[in-house]
């Protein structure tokens, strides 16, 4: 299987039969306490209608002998755990404000609820993106307040191990005890979903109506969980924004990267790896990328091992491996533009660098690339030469894999597809870039207010509310249609109905048809080789 490296860019008080109660506490702020199956946790009102519980452990800290191991449920704690402040993110390269507070003790979640009562609200679990090497559940762009308040849902943000700490292939190096290391980050997500099943009713949510969603690496995680046996029954619907498990590494590729990583560290045993501090792990990861001359994409990520994950996830879905899971998914129109345009401004030969990334990073042959660029030139005649490479990257890494996902899942479950075509007036050259849908889906007003003039910001916020309402409607009953949108038909191969999210949303049939047919012919030819 080709190694698909995706360009992951530049993010009421009630007692229940199962036990537990919410208790309002006296204090300078309105605070609440809920008893989970592991102990009591406090939360605080962030608005008059929303209570937030933050930094709740759903697993033991994966440190010491537990580093690189499958996550373990947390021990019970005494007293009341302080859940009023956001916690640290997983270990990752620093530079972004949210990443300054980080820790290996990162297997925590934050949730927002409109009420601690027995109303069975839909539960939405967000899995953050960041190329499996960056990101977290605490940034302002993934604040769940408006989701909970506007949608009357319980919104949960979860974290998972990143980089080498979450995806190191240690089958041979560590033996049977470390067979799960290669997908430990996914197992973190599974354990977080088990926590939701055990506890979410105590926070006003319905464990029988859980929707997982995410963007980029979070979206790839969603598609992984759809075909992961250990995740079966832990969620009921899926939303995948700009990413599929087509980026998964083969076991051979993961083994090669891990061998180089171990060689860089000088480790002789797993105990040696466990003795490294977090900064040494990050330095070794960077050195591994340099020595293997990685052309874009993460060094580590999910491994298609045939055990925790099938070796052919798209084929598994096509065969009905996720038949019980309704799917809402899509991409932005110009996924790669902002990130790679920023990078290309530093290159003497941007077209040459972009061709190198497509050829070596994405595995596109010289003949395939010529066909791709010719098709882009016909479909987007206004595009400059470098832009044609960027459009080709978008189709190879994002739009065509999402199309294949629709073709596979729509045979077995209700499927809806969208395309975000809104382009920021502040950076029109970037087009609708990768990750932009996060800001619209979470509908964080400050994102638009800080970047646009007042009229443009209000129009963008109107679209954001339309998108968020569609996500909430889908989470509630499996159908994204609502009064604020034109009728949105299910995706079927015969019609390929796709919602264009733009200033005036509308449904079109098979957007980018010429490019879709070009990529279809290329990929079918590859499969026939």
Torsion angle in degrees (nearest 10) through CA of 278, 284, 287, 293:
-110
Dump pLDDT digits (tens) for 495-525: 999 999 999 999 999 999 999 999 999 999 9
Mean predicted lDDT score pLDDT of the chain: 91
Task: Quote the CA–CA distance of 169 and 163 in Å, as a whole number.
Answer: 11
Task: Quote the CA–CA distance of 231 and 235 in Å, as a whole number.
Answer: 8
For the chain, the straight-line distance linking the first and the last C-alpha, in angstroms and rounded, comes to 12
The residues with which 413 forms a beta bridge, in sequence order, are: none
Task: Quote the CA–CA distance of 116 and 205 in Å, as a whole number.
Answer: 9
The residues with which 501 forms a beta bridge, in sequence order, are: 420
The question of whether 216 is a catalytic residue gets the answer: yes
Contact criterion met (CB below 8 Å) for 340 and 255:
no
Q: Which CATH architecture has domain 22-313?
A: 3-Layer(aba) Sandwich (3.40)
Phi-psi region of 153 (alpha: psi -120 to 50; beta: other; left: phi over 0): beta
User: Per-residue pLDDT averaged across 407-417, rounded?
Assistant: 98
Q: Is the pLDDT reported for residue 12 higher than 80?
A: no
Question: Quick one: pLDDT band at residue 296, thresholds 50, 70, 90?
Answer: low
Q: Is the pLDDT reported for residue 245 higher than 50?
A: yes
Neighbours of 315 (CB within 10 A): 12
Residue 386: both structure tokens together: 């470098």
Q: Is the pLDDT reported for residue 25 higher than 80?
A: no
The residues with which 472 forms a beta bridge, in sequence order, are: none
Q: Is the pLDDT reported for residue 1 higher than 50?
A: no
Same fold flag, 22-313 and 330-528: yes
Dump pLDDT digits (tens) for 107-137: 999 999 999 999 999 999 999 999 999 999 9
Task: Quote the CA–CA distance of 299 and 3 in Å, as a whole number.
Answer: 12
The question of whether 85 is a catalytic residue gets the answer: no
Lowest mean pLDDT among 91-95, 182-186, 265-269: 91-95
Q: Express as a percent the part of the chain with pLDDT over 70.
A: 93
Contact criterion met (CB below 8 Å) for 97 and 185:
no
**Rg (Cα) of the chain, in Å, rounded?**
22
Q: Is the pLDDT reported for residue 14 higher than 70?
A: no
- Options 42, 216, 406, 439, the catalytic residue: 216
Residue ranges covered by each domain of the chain: 22-313, 330-528
Contact criterion met (CB below 8 Å) for 26 and 32:
no
User: Per-residue pLDDT averaged across 305-317, rounded?
Assistant: 93
Q: Is the pTM of this model over 0.85?
A: yes
Tell me how many helices (H) and strands (E) the chain has.
Answer: 18, 16
Closest CA to 144 of 58, 86, 223, 91: 86
Residue 91: both structure tokens together: 């270990």
- Biggest CA–CA distance in the chain, Å, is 70
Question: Quick one: pLDDT band at residue 347, thresholds 50, 70, 90?
Answer: low
Q: Is the pLDDT reported for residue 341 higher than 80?
A: no
Residue with tokens 């309105």: 30
Task: Quote the CA–CA distance of 339 and 326 in Å, as a whole number.
Answer: 31
Contact criterion met (CB below 8 Å) for 117 and 63:
no
CATH 3.40.50.1820 fits 330-528, yes or no: yes
Lowest mean pLDDT among 114-118, 190-194, 382-386: 382-386
Dump pLDDT digits (tens) for 268-284: 999 999 999 999 999 99
Residue 344: both structure tokens together: 């290309």
Contact criterion met (CB below 8 Å) for 71 and 121:
no
Task: Quote the CA–CA distance of 405 and 491 in Å, as a whole number.
Answer: 11
Task: Quote the CA–CA distance of 399 and 404 in Å, as a whole number.
Answer: 9
Contact criterion met (CB below 8 Å) for 121 and 193:
no
Pairing of strands 497-501, 506-509: antiparallel
Of the ranges 130-144, 150-164, 382-396, the best mean pLDDT one: 150-164
More confident residue, 13 or 170: 170
Cα–Cα distance list, 178 to 175, 190, 254 (Å): 6, 17, 14
Task: Quote the CA–CA distance of 519 and 524 in Å, as a whole number.
Answer: 8
- Options 35, 104, 241, 335, the catalytic residue: 335
Residue 229: both structure tokens together: 């046996």
β strands within 368-423, DSSP E: 415-420
């Amino acid at each position: 299987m080709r190694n698909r490296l995706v360009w992951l860019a530049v993010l009421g008080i009630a007692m229940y039969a199962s036990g537990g109660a919410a208790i309002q506490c006296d204090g300078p702020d309105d605070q609440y306490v809920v008893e989970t199956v592991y102990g009591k946790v406090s939360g605080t009102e962030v608005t008059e209608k929303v209570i937030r519980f933050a930094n709740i452990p759903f697993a033991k800290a994966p440190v010491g002998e537990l580093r690189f191991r499958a996550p373990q449920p947390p021990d019970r704690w005494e007293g009341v755990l302080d859940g009023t402040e956001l916690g640290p993110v997983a270990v990752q390269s620093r530079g972004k404000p949210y990443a300054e507070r980080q820790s290996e003790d990162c297997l925590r979640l934050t949730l927002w609820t409109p009420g601690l009562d027995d109303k069975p609200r839909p539960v939405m679990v967000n899995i953050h993106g960041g190329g499996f090497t960056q990101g977290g559940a605490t940034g302002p762009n993934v604040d769940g307040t408006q989701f909970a308040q506007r949608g009357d849902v319980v919104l949960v943000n979860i974290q998972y191990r990143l980089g080498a700490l979450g995806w190191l292939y240690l089958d041979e190096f560590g033996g049977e005890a470390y067979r799960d290391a290669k997908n430990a980050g996914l197992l973190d997500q599974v354990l977080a979903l088990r926590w939701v099943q055990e506890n979410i009713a105590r926070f006003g949510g319905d464990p029988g109506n859980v929707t997982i969603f995410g963007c980029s690496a979070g979206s790839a995680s969603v598609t992984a969980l759809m075909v992961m046996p250990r995740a079966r029954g832990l969620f009921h619907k899926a939303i995948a924004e700009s990413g599929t498990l087509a980026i998964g590494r083969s076991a051979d590729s993961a083994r090669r990267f891990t061998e180089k990583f171990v060689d860089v560290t000088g480790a002789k045993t797993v105990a040696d790896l466990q003795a490294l501090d977090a900064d040494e792990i990050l330095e070794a990861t960077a050195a591994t990328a340099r020595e293997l001359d990685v052309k874009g994409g993460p060094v580590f990520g999910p491994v298609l091992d045939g055990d925790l994950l099938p070796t052919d996830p798209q084929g598994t879905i096509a065969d009905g491996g996720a038949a019980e899971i309704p799917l809402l998914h899509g991409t932005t129109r110009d996924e790669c533009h902002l990130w790679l345009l920023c990078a290309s401004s530093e290159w003497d030969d941007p077209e040459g660098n972009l061709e190198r990334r497509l050829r070596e990073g994405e595995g596109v042959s010289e003949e395939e690339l010529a066909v791709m660029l010719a098709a882009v030139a016909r479909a987007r005649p206004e595009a400059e030469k470098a832009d044609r490479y960027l459009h080709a990257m978008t189709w190879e890494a994002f739009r065509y894999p999402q199309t294949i996902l629709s073709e596979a899942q729509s045979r077995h479950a209700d499927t809806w597809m969208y395309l975000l075509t809104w382009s920021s007036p502040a950076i029109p050259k970037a087009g609708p870039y990768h990750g932009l849908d996060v800001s619209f889906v979470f509908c964080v007003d400050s994102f638009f207010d800080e970047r646009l003039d007042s009229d443009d910001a209000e129009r963008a916020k109107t679209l954001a509310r339309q998108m968020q309402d569609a996500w909430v409607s889908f989470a509630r009953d499996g159908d994204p249609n609502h009064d604020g949108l034109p009728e949105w038909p299910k995706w079927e191969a015969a019609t390929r109905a796709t919602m264009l999210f733009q200033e005036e949303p509308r449904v079109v049939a098979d957007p980018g048809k010429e490019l879709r047919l070009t990529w279809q012919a290329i990929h079918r030819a590859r499969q026939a080789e």
